[in-house]
């Protein structure tokens, strides 16, 4: 007789790992940090990020959008333009980003 195992919930040990995977990399964190200022159009965001490679920026924005961290909104005036803003999930990342900045300034600066 085959034994049926209950579905496992992610262990508490896996939660930090999953959170770090969501934060991703430096570029992803930079995008979230930059959008903390407020909604930005793609070209404004690219300039604010020091002219990040357009392919890299597009991939990171798509990933953040898929994770419901940011929202992509088509401009009503100019149908070709899009703007990005943080969603509540992204806003909840900001205290963690501040802590990372403080840590790096204190111990790595």
The confidence score (pLDDT) of residue 21 equals: 80
- At 23, is the secondary structure helix, strand, or coil? helix
70 in a structural domain: yes
75 in a structural domain: yes
The model carries a pTM of 0.80
Q: Which residue has the higher pLDDT, 84 or 19?
A: 84
Which residues neighbour 60 within 8 Å (Cβ) at sequence distance 6 or greater? 24, 27, 28, 31
Q: How far apart are CA 59 and CA 54, in angstroms?
A: 9
Instruction: Reply yes or no on whether the pLDDT at 64 is more than 90.
Output: yes
List, for residues 4-56, the tens digit of each pLDDT value: 665 656 666 678 888 778 777 889 999 999 999 999 999 999 999 998 899 99
92 in a structural domain: yes
The confidence score (pLDDT) of residue 19 equals: 79
Cα separations in angstroms, 9 against 12, 13, 26, 68, 91:
9, 11, 29, 21, 26
Q: How many domains is the chain partitioned into structurally?
A: 1
Q: 42: domain CATH number?
A: 1.10.10.10
3 in a structural domain: no
72 in a structural domain: yes
10 in a structural domain: no
84 in a structural domain: yes
Instruction: Give me the domain span that covers residue 46.
Output: 21-108
Average per-residue pLDDT for the chain: 88
- Say which range, 4-8, 12-16, 63-67, 90-94, has the weakest mean pLDDT: 4-8
């Amino acid at each position: 007789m085959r034994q049926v195992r209950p579905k496992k919930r992610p262990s508490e040990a896996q939660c930090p790992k999953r959170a770090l995977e969501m934060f991703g990399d430096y570029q992803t964190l930079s995008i979230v940090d930059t959008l903390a200022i407020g909604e930005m159009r793609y070209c404004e965001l690219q300039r604010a990020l020091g002219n990040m490679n357009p392919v890299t920026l597009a991939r990171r924005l798509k990933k953040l959008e898929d994770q419901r961290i940011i929202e992509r909104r088509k401009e009503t005036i100019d149908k070709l333009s899009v703007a990005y803003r943080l969603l509540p999930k992204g806003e909840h990342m900001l205290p963690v980003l501040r802590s990372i900045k403080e840590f790096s300034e204190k111990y790595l600066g």
